[in-house]
Amino acid sequence: MRRTNTQTIKEAIDLFLEENLTLTDKLAELRLINSWGKILGILAERYTTNIYIHKKILYVGLSSAALKNELMMCREKLISQLNEEAGKEVIIDIVFK
């Protein structure tokens, strides 16, 4: 016999994530960090030394001053692309080091 209160694994995971918002936020941050190379390409990813998020600010360490200047000019577009890839607003600013 089939139980009446059954649910799919996807439904169970979605319900779990709705109840644990901090976990949902951390997963969105991880998606954003992992999408850095996808959005900017392999060349930019090669010059990225460190990347992390603290208090909705993305900190990116770069080993190329020229790349840093290029990314500074398109910061707003980059923020919107990264947030779109993460599926929600994860960052509000980017700091290049």
- Domain membership flag for residue 68: yes
- Domain membership flag for residue 80: yes
Domain count, the chain: 1
Tell me, what's the pLDDT at 20? 83
The CATH number linked to 32 is: 3.30.300
- The DSSP result for the chain, as a single string, is ---TT---HHHHHHHHHHH-HHHHHHHHHHHHHHTHHHHH-HHHHHHEEEEEEETTEEEEEES-HHHHHHHHHTHHHHHHHHHHHHTS---SEEEE-
What does the alpha-carbon distance between residue 39 and residue 22 come to, in Å, rounded to a whole number? 25
Domain range for 89:
9-96
- Domain membership flag for residue 2: no
Q: Please tell me the least confidently modeled range out of 10-14, 53-57, 82-86, 91-95.
A: 10-14
Mean pLDDT of 28-45: 92
Q: pTM to 2 decimals?
A: 0.82
- Domain membership flag for residue 3: no
Q: Mean pLDDT for the chain?
A: 91
